[in-house]
Amino acid sequence: MQNDEIMDPRIIDGRGIADKIEDQVKREVEKLKEKGIQPTIATLLVGEHPPSKLYVKLKEWACKRAGIRSEVHKYSEDVALEEIINLIDELNNRVEINGILVELPLPEHIDEHEVMSAIKPSKDVDGFHPLNMGSMLIGKERFVPCTSEGIIRALEEYHIEVLGKNVVVVGHSNVVGKPTSIMLLNRNATVETCHVYTQNLKEHTLRADILIVATGVKGLITKDMVKKGVIIFDVGVTWVGEKVYGDVDFDSVIEKVKLISPVPGGVGPMTIAILMEHTIEAAKLQHNLR
């Protein structure tokens, strides 16, 4: 990301929004520490998946900046489900742990649903526990997935009204596509969710006032697929060597957008900042401070 790109008013300043959230978190951490509470997040990392290791590192750095204590529990690829569940039980019971985070994806032989369901909902800062997902679905948002909340926060930050807008979400994953669709529906946008089985994707994306893309297919969205004045959130992450690319062909699409989140520097930093915020919320909840 070049500095002159950040200055382009069409480019959503994900880093700037994240910094604002993190500053607030830092102040809250100080207040908690004055009360003798050291906010703490525990992360579970399984295997040697390089992006997962990087994301865990990025979260550790964010914790450090905010004054949150972080402990990372590393397991080899062949860990048994039972061992993971045992650790989660232990973390559930340790009062000094406020948030529990399982870095996804997990190896094939581990049932993700079972792992997520084992986390105490009040420590589920990632928002993936089915109870938290279900509360979100019925409009009682508690801990919600961080990327989706980051997108909502950015829309607020840029004063974009979503009520009645045509939102198209490309991707129907449990981690991004579905929760983002639901959170926008909760805010009375008209929401269409597309994915790999959608026929003639372009026909759908062309109708979007707000387009959210989370497929992991590099450059999927091209200039001809969006209308003039669209607002785009690019949640895609594809690594090519040391470089990371989004799902949107940024250089051509930018000509048509009102706003677009870049990759990197868009939803990534916001996601991590929201995670920090959730950890503080969890700590407050657990100590009856709100």
Listed ranges 47-55, 73-81, 98-106, 125-133: which one lies at the site for a copy of itself (CB under 8 A): 125-133
CA atoms within 13 A on the CB side of 123: 25
| CB closer to a copy of itself, 164 vs 241 | 164
Contacts of 285 (CB under 8 A, 6+ apart): 122
Of 94 and 258, which CB lies nearer to a copy of itself in the complex structure? 258
Is residue 173 a known part of a binding site? yes
Rounded distance, CA 34 to CA 44, Å? 28
237 labelled ligand-binding: yes
Characterize 210-246 residue by residue with b for buried, 16 or more Cβ atoms within 10 angstroms of its Cβ, and e for exposed: bbbbbbebbbbbeeebbeeebbbbbbbbbeeeeebbb
Say what the alpha-carbon torsion angle 162, 232, 158, 182 is, to the nearest 10 degrees: 40
CB-based contact 137:185 (threshold 8 Å)? no
Binding mask 136-155 for a copy of itself (x = CB under 8 A): xxxxx---------------
Q: Is 14 annotated as a binding residue?
A: no
Residue 260 amino acid letter? I
With CB under 8 A as the contact rule, the residue among 34, 78, 95, 163 that binds a copy of itself is 163
Using the minimum distance from each CB to a copy of itself, give the nearer residue, 92 or 252: 92
- Cβ atoms of 62 and 268 within 8 Å: the answer is no
Min separation Cβ 66 and a copy of itself, Å? 29
**18/214 with CB nearer a copy of itself:** 214
Annotated binding-site residue? 176:
no
Question: Quick one: which of 131, 160, 285, 289 contacts a copy of itself (CB under 8 A)?
Answer: 131
Residues of the shown chain interacting with a copy of itself in the complex, contacts defined by CB under 8 A: 113, 128-140, 163-164, 166, 172, 174, 178-179, 181-182, 185, 188-195, 197-199, 204
